[in-house]
Amino acid sequence: MSKKFSDLPAVFHQGEVSLHKSLGIKDRLEDLGKRMIRDYMPDQHRTFFEQLSWVHLGAVDSQGHPWAVVRTGEAGFLNTPDDKTLSIRSIALPGEPEDLQLSVGSKVSIVGLDPATRRRNRLNATVFKNTKDLLVFHVDQSFGNCPKYIQKRDTDFTAKIPASVLSERTSLDQTDTEILNRADTLYIASRTDQFTDDPRRGVDINHRGGLPGFVTIIDDATIEIPDYKGNNFFNTFGNILQDSRVGVQVIDFTTATLLNLQGNAEILTLENTELPPPDTGRRLRISLQSVSRGTGAFPYSLSEVEYSPFL
C-alpha cells in the first residue's frame, strides 16, 4: 500500500522552509514538494535525459565554492540504466576547474534543458563512480520544472572541436560585460551549509531566463539577477541563506563562449512594488571574486532565439 503524501519525509531544508514561512506558503509548498520531488526518475525523465546533447552540472571545487558547468556529447551520452541511476560519458570543456569535486561520494546537481521544446528536468545526486570519461550518479531528488522563461532555439548538433582561448581575472572586462548585456539565459549553482546523507543537503543548479539586459551590471565586480515568479521552491535562495557562495555560467551562443562567474550572493528586496510581472522585486546581488571566459569552448551552434511568452 502506497504512503500518503503527509507520511513522506520532508523534501525542503531549513533555508527553503524559512522563505516559505515568510511568504505564508509553507503548508502548500510542503505538500506540493512531496508530490513533485521524488527519489527516482520517472520514465519520461529518463527518456528526456537520454535524448539530450548537453547537460548542466552544479558541483563544488576543493574550496567548497559552487560552479555551474556544462558537459556535451552525442545523444545517448547520458544514460539511465535504472530509475535511480544517471551516467554521463564526457570530458570537461575548457574553463571547468581541475579541482571540481566529482569523486565518489561528492554531491552534484544536474539540470537538463531542451531549448527546442522548452522542457526542463532536474535532479540532485551523489557520485558513486568516476573513471576517465564516465561519471555515474545515484539520484537523491528528482523533479521537473515548468517551461517558464526558457528561450526557444533549435540546435545544430554537428559538434565542432572547441578551439578555445581561456582567460581569467578577478573582475569583468569589456567582453564579459558585452556577453552579460546580451545574455537571455544563465545557470546558477548554489550549496547548502553542510553536505550529509540527507538528500535535502547538497548542491543545486538551476536555469534563469529573461530578455537581454535582465542581468544588471552594477560595476565590474557586482551584478544583480532578478527573481521572476516561478514554482516558489526557492532552492537557490534557500541555499544562499545557508551559504552565500554561488557560481554562474552564461553560454554566449553568438561566440560559443562559456563565461563563468564565482562570487557571494545576498538577497535584496526592492521597495518598489509596482514592478511589472513576472518580476517579484527580489534580487540576487552577486559580489564577484573570479571570472573566467572560454572563447569558442561550446561545441554547438544554436538558431535565432524565440523569447519566452512569459517575459
Residues 6+ apart with CB under 8 A from 205: 56, 57, 58, 68, 109, 110, 111, 122, 187, 188, 189, 190
No. of H helices and E strands in the chain? 5, 17
Task: Report d(CA 91, CA 99) in Å as an integer.
Answer: 14
Q: Which cell is 272 given? A: 518598489
pLDDT tens, position by position, for the chain (311 residues)? 345 555 567 899 999 999 999 889 999 989 888 999 999 999 999 999 999 999 999 999 999 999 999 999 989 999 999 999 999 999 899 899 999 999 999 999 999 999 999 999 999 999 999 998 999 999 999 999 989 999 999 988 777 777 788 999 999 999 999 999 999 999 999 999 999 999 999 999 999 999 999 999 999 999 999 999 888 999 999 999 999 999 999 999 888 999 999 999 999 987 766 777 888 889 999 999 999 999 999 999 888 899 999 99
5 phi-psi bin (left φ>0, alpha ψ -120 to 50, beta other): alpha
Residue 1 buriedness (CB in 10 A; 0-12 / 13-18 / 19+): exposed
Q: Which cell is 170 given? A: 578577478
Distance of CA 202 to the CA centre of its chain: 13
Peptide bond preceding 199 in cis form (omega within 30 of 0): no
Query: Model's pTM, two decimal places?
Result: 0.94
**Which residue ranges form the domains of the chain, and what is each CATH number?**
9-302 (2.30.110.10)
